[in-house]
Structure 1
Amino acid sequence: MKTIIALAFALLITYSSAQAQDLKTSKSLKTALEQSSSSKKPILLIIEATGIPKAANMPGNAKINFKSALDEPEVINRINENFVVYKTVMTDTSIRSIIREANVKSFPAFVFLRTNKDIFFKDFGNSTDQRKYISMVDKALAALKEESISELETKYNADKDNNAVLKKLIDTRKKLGITNNAELIEKYVNNLKIGDFNDYQTVLYILEAGPYSDGNAYKLAYTNRKIIDSLYKTEPIQKRTGINNVIISNTISDAAKNKNTARAISAANFARNTWTRDYRNGEKAYNNQILWYYSTVKDTASYLRTASYFYDSYYMNISADSIKKIELKNREALTQRHVATMPYQKQISKEKLDSLQKVYGKTMVTQSVVTVGNVSNSYANELNNAAWKFYEIGTKNLNYLSKAMIWSRRAIELNPIAGYYDTLAHILYRLGYNEEAIKTQEMAIERAKTEKTPTASLESELKKIKAKAL
């Protein structure tokens, strides 16, 4: 009997030990927040990209020799001991505001939240070395001890003349990758003296915060042109590009939020000016910003008018052959960059890539693992998206629909894929060319079969076209 009890006890210990190796995860963000509140533990939000699952979870016939050290027992125990975990994917709508605020752009992402949802640390990336994750946990626990964003905001609101506290608040947000600090930097410059704008580091600090391009902070930072010229000559190109991008992003986003067309034009002009003497790309940058604004605020008339001019002048005044040559060159350069940085480059052979494509589909694997598009993909995709946008807006203006049809045909000429034929079929239907729309949608279905992509949606749309029920 003692032997049986001892054996049972040993099995129980073994079972418990095995169970301890699993990462304990909450079923939802709401549940994680509730558990965090009751346990007084912070939250670790693990955000995976959609698409191909991580290698460790792939079926046997995929055979990728990559296993994340996040699954190591020591890492799991450290995480379980210190955090409430919610594991999800980037498309989860409950975390949309967190992704936006934390400026998450790389996946898998690890975002650490206090019980009140304040972000206090973040990291990203897979690794086979468990030291990465142990270090991540240690850094997060250290960051947890520092003043939170909410605490600093409370301090500042109690003493709005205290630039030291405001600077610490901005620095804390910047450290976490939060780039929308335009409102805060406007308040910060209000407490500075005129002479402060002759200091290189002060000017750099203001610009790094991403001031509105038509705001007071930006104007004051530009009062000393010598400093500005020096800054844009001496700072690393990555930092200069980052400054410009944040200024554009903060300005256009605020413009859309408040339907401020003057601010949107300021953002677009700033984007254009970043290209200096490259007038063609400058005009493209300007129009991309202003079109995004019109689309976001639903100013349909301005969108259609501006888009018509932009796509005709930028995409249609160059031959298809010239576009193919340009994008072939771009594709070769892009492929070389990806080969140099691709995380699976040492693990994936051609045979393994073929195996992946059989399991998950060629398109998904190519986009997720290799991330290089087809020749002429950029121009074709831009034109297709513009054409579809015109259809989606619902315009019945024959002039606009005719332009959309021409753009759609050019997209197909550059890259004849199923989705582009589908766009053209819808536009032809809207124009009243029902028979041609049917034939074009049938071509979309045939293309999809050749591409080995799903056809159900295309076939459903074909039925609607035939029934004149779109």
Structure 2
Amino acid sequence: MTDTSVRSIMRIGNINRYPAYIFLRENSEIFYSEFGNSTDKNKYLSMVQNALTAYKEKSISELEKDVEMNKGSISQLKKLIDARQKIGITNNADLIEQYVSNLTIGDFNKYENVLYILQAGPYVDGTAYKLAYTNRKLIDSLYRNESAQKRIAINRAIISNTMKAAVKDKNVNRAMAAANFERSTWSRDYRAGEKSYNNQMLWYYYTVKDTASYFRTAMYFYDNHYMNISADSIKRIEKKNLDRNLKNSFPEDLGKKIVSKEKMDSLLKLPGMKSATKSVVGVSSPVSNYANELNNAAWNFYQTGTKNLNYLTKAMLWSRRSIELNPIGGYYDTLAHLLYRLGYFEEAIKTQEDAIEKSKLQGMNPVNLQAELKKMKARQI
């Protein structure tokens, strides 16, 4: 996780479940991956066999050469897109743009074609997306009939690919298109949609270092969505969101497969039967984590290097609220740095000492916090 080359592989392969088993070619190209632990050795034997089979297939780089040599070949493009999706690569926006240029108008009235285009994660402001949406009834049917898991994956890919391209080209109009698309996914929940829109634009402005737009949007966003509500209300919202997340973390058809303990015990008594334990850990952000988001916002303000008292004071208020919601060491560290930059050196030192004590109680190594405390005392930050 600390190796930049490994993080790059994880990002390309969209690895977000652990433990992960990633099989690479000699050029570090992913060709197969699986997830989860099991006490059954057959899981691992099967995994290796599947990986060996996948290794014999054409590599992504070979398929890319085929596309280059056979420009205009829709079958070669499809093979490349399919291969990338098979190993977890969800950013196929540029490829799907080439793909649709070889289709006829009638092709966009076919359910399977439109679904295929959307699963590639087209740019919201691109030709592929616009052509896929020419038949609105078909789009409505698709979003009604496909599973929630598939619909969510489609929307995430579209938003992520569009935003990344916007950042790469510093294209604010493309960023707004992606943010508008995310807002539309909230249907009639206008407040949640507005929050999502601003969240996307904040990420864009911060990433491209448009600090003026970032400060302006952030001050409106966090005050409007995080500071005009009491701490108790926030805790109730987070409890509700946590319960919903836990409920939605199970497969949709899990209820159909539950077997009673009595039935399972009787099955295990049959000759040759044995039990095996399997586990997969998914990594995702909570739907609503007010304290963490306020702390991150405050720290982002600090990291811009601003010395504007209005911005720093605003960030300090956010930081104090994050501590009120969840008094952990990292949040005290943020507040200490903001106090230091505001010139409240003694209070900053006391707050950093609190950060160290809180971290110890959490079982965290405070060595980095102690180093920052030393700098504060020496006025070297």
Same fold (TM over 0.5): yes
Q: Give the CA deviation at 1:462.
A: 2.4
CA distance in 2, matches of 1:415, 1:429: 21
Deviation at 1:115, TM superposition (A): 2.6
2:340 and 2:348 in contact (8 A); partners too: yes
Q: Which amino acid aligns with 1:316?
A: M
Residue of structure 1 in register with 2:339 after alignment: 428
Q: Deviation per CA, 1:85-144, whole angstroms, max 9, x where unpaired?
A: xxxxx3322223221221111122222222333322211221111111111111112222
Residue 175 (structure 1) aligned with residue 58 (structure 2): no
Q: CA RMSD in A?
A: 2.6
The residue identity in structure 2 corresponding to 1:123 is E
Aligned to 2:206: 295
Correspondent of 1:414 among 306, 312, 325:
325
Deviation per residue, 1:67-87 (Å, 9 max, x gap)? xxxxxxxxxxxxxxxxxxxxx
SS of the residue aligned with 2:22?
A: strand
Aligned partner of 1:232 among 137, 143, 151 = 143
Q: Give ranges in structure 2 of 5+ residues lacking alignment.
A: 255-279
Distance 1:231 1:335 in 2: 27
Verify the 8 A CA contact 2:122 2:158 in the aligned structure 1. Answer: yes
User: Residues 237-281 of structure 1, C-alpha deviation per residue, up to 9 Å, x if partnerless?
Assistant: 111111000000111111111211111111111111111111122
Larger-Rg structure: 1
**Percent of aligned positions that are identical:** 65
Shift of 1:226: 0.7
Instruction: Quote how far apart the aligned CAs of 1:427 are.
Output: 0.7
The amino acid across from 1:96 in the alignment is R
Matches of 1:372 and 1:158, distance apart in 2: 40
Quote the residue 1:465 is aligned against.
Answer: 376
**Residue 163 of structure 1 pairs with residue 46 of structure 2:** no
1:115 & 1:370 partners in 2: Cα distance?
28
Paired AA for residue 198 in structure 1: N
How far apart are 1:147 and its partner, in Å? Answer: 2.1
SS in 1 for 2:31: strand
Distance in 1, Cα, partners of 2:369 & 2:26: 46
Shift of 1:335: 6.0
Q: Specify every segment of 5 or more residues in structure 1 that has no aligned partner in the other structure, as ranges.
A: 1-89, 342-367
Tell me, what secondary structure is at the counterpart of 2:168?
Answer: helix
Compute the displacement of 1:186 (Å): 0.1
Q: Which has the higher contact order (CA 8 A, sep 6+)?
A: 2
Contact 1:248 1:271 in 2 (8 A): yes
Which residue among 210, 213, 223 is the counterpart of 2:124?
213
The 1:450–1:251 alpha-carbon spacing in structure 2 relative to 1, beyond 3 Å, is same
The 3 A distance-change label for structure 1 pair 450 and 371 is farther
2:63 corresponding residue in structure 1:
152
Kept in 2: contact 1:109–1:123 (CA 8 A): yes
| Counterparts of residues 363-378 of structure 1 (less than 5 Å) | 378=289
d(CA) in 2 for partners of 1:454 and 1:323? 29
Q: Give 2:2's aligned residue.
A: 91
CA distance in 2 between counterparts of 1:101 and 1:392 reads: 27
Could you tell me the TM-score, scaled by structure 1's length?
A: 0.71
State the partner residue of 1:252: 163
Q: Structure 1 residues 336 and 233, CA, compared in 2 at 3 Å: closer, same or farther? A: closer
Please give the alpha-carbon distance, in whole angstroms, between the structure 1 residues aligned to 2:85 and 2:343. Answer: 53
CA distance in 2, matches of 1:158, 1:370: 40
Residue 112 of structure 1 corresponds to 23
Q: In structure 2, the residue corresponding to 1:112 is in which secondary structure? A: strand
Distance 2:93 2:282 in 1: 36
| Alpha-carbon shift at residue 197 of structure 1 (Å) | 0.6
